[in-house]
Amino acid sequence: MNTSKNITISDVAKHAKVSKSTVSQYLNQRFEYMGAATRTKIEESIKELGYSPNFLARSLKQKKTFTIGIIVANILHGFSTQVIRAIEDCCNEQDVHVIVCNADDDPAKEKKYISMLQAKQVDGFIIFPTGENTDVYKQVLGRNIPIVFVDRLIPDLEVDTLLLDNINASKLGVYNFVENGHEDIAIITPPLNPLITPRWERLEGYKEAMAECKKSYPEEYIISGQLHTLHDQLDKVFQLKRRPTAILCSNDLTLMEVLKYCKAKSILLPDQLSIIGIDEVSFATVYNPALSTIKQPAFNIGGRAAELLLDHINGKSSERKVYRYAPEFLERTSVKTL
């Protein structure tokens, strides 16, 4: 390795006995008219000389920073981390850098991160939107900076959006409970913010499925609130004369709260309570009983989100649409047959 001076693209070209433009094409992965032997020579020269590409010069020349921003609503969700991983994998293959920010479902925090990432001149955004910064999203789009939304719909914005078929996800859970003889089925969800699409869609799916199956439920069976309040609400529900025999957990975090509650109250699963969770969790198969879950294709959603954004950045696509993904029911042993 030559460490006596900064190695330039000219040094690589001279060493490989090719032109500077050929090395430039190699660095930018334009291999259409480049033979395998030429690519090998350039690759070996780069390694031998210890050449590191000048990303700043590349950015100035192509008017891109080769960086995107991801703003996630809540990074504690397993779904969110899987989506981020898939996005990063896709971007890494294209030599695009990723900056991840966690908004905690706080519109002010989300707005601050959007401003910061614009100052860093990211080429585009993938956002799990809070829904309360529509004017900010419009401002970004007005600057011709592409956005892709994940998990949540924002009305009146022409933005690619990828999310689960949430209504059908809840229906799969209710149908399974009913097939196993359950009549008294509750649902537990975080606060029902109408701007957070999965929450109200999953509740709607629960209500539709209960109606389709001709099952009634008291209003108390819709358990909703901040995570730290759910134990008190579960106490009230289990004091009802008609207590639920099954609970549909609308995401991984509510599932965890129900499991903690059952442990604290010595409620046996599934003998005394059957559970299904929307969102696959890493411990589902090792928990006792193994937990039935409704899986989102998180890696498919993340990979496709990255592909769509990179296409928009590179001017390859102008069409914007909503992509719905089918849920997958993973039946295990957390539902008792009555």
Q: Is residue 278 over pLDDT 90?
A: yes
- Percent over 70 (pLDDT), the chain: 95
The DSSP secondary structure of 203-267, one letter per residue, reads HHHHHHHHHHTT----GGGEEES-GGGHHHHHHHHHTSSS--SEEEESSHHHHHHHHHHHHHTT-
**CA 322 to the chain's CA centroid:** 15
Q: Is residue 12 over pLDDT 90?
A: no
Q: Helix (H, G, I), strand (E, B), or coil: what is residue 38?
A: helix
**CA 47 to the chain's CA centroid:** 36
CA dihedral (23, 28, 31, 37) in degrees, to 10, reads 30
Cβ–Cβ under 8 Å, residues 298 and 273: no
Predicted local distance difference test score (pLDDT) of residue 58: 56
Q: What is the mean pLDDT of the chain?
A: 91
Could you tell me the CATH superfamily of domain 166-296? Response regulator (3.40.50.2300)
* Model confidence, pTM: 0.82
Q: What average pLDDT does the segment 192-196 reach?
A: 89
Predicted local distance difference test score (pLDDT) of residue 23: 81
Q: What average pLDDT does the segment 236-255 reach?
A: 96
Indicate the residue type of 65: T
Q: Can 65-164+298-326 and 166-296 be said to share one CATH topology?
A: yes
Where does residue 233 rank: exposed (0-12), middle (13-18), buried (19+ CB within 10 A)? middle
Handedness of CA 42, 47, 48, 51 (dihedral sign): positive
Banded pLDDT at 7 (limits 50, 70, 90): confident
Q: Which two tokens stand for residue 205?
A: 């799916």
Cβ–Cβ under 8 Å, residues 96 and 151: no
Sheet holding 222-224, edge to edge: 222-224, 185-189, 246-249, 274-278, 292-295, 328-330
The DSSP secondary structure of 182-195, one letter per residue, reads ---EEEEES---TT
Its CATH class, for the domain covering 65-164+298-326, is alpha beta
- Map out the domains of the chain as residue ranges: 9-53, 65-164+298-326, 166-296
Quick: pLDDT tens for 38-72. Answer: 888 888 888 888 887 665 555 545 567 889 999 99
**Nearest Cα to 52, choosing from 117, 115, 1, 126?**
1
131-141 in b/e form (b: 16+ CB < 10 A) is bbbeebbeebe
Q: Is residue 223 over pLDDT 90?
A: yes
Cβ–Cβ under 8 Å, residues 152 and 131: yes
Q: Helix (H, G, I), strand (E, B), or coil: what is residue 329?
A: strand
CA dihedral (117, 121, 124, 130) in degrees, to 10, reads 20
- Distance, CA of 10 to CA of 165 (rounded, Å): 53
Cβ–Cβ under 8 Å, residues 16 and 39: no
Fold of 9-53: 434 Repressor (Amino-terminal Domain) (1.10.260)
The DSSP secondary structure of 264-302, one letter per residue, reads HTT--TTTT-EEEEES--TTTTTSSSPPEEEE--HHHHH
Predicted local distance difference test score (pLDDT) of residue 60: 46
By DSSP bridging, strand 124-127 and strand 160-164 are unpaired
The DSSP secondary structure of 52-114, one letter per residue, reads ---HHHHHHHHT--SEEEEEES-TTSHHHHHHHHHHHHHHHHTT-EEEEEE-TT-HHHHHHHH
Predicted local distance difference test score (pLDDT) of residue 323: 96
Comparing 85-99, 158-172, 324-338, the range with the smallest average pLDDT is 85-99
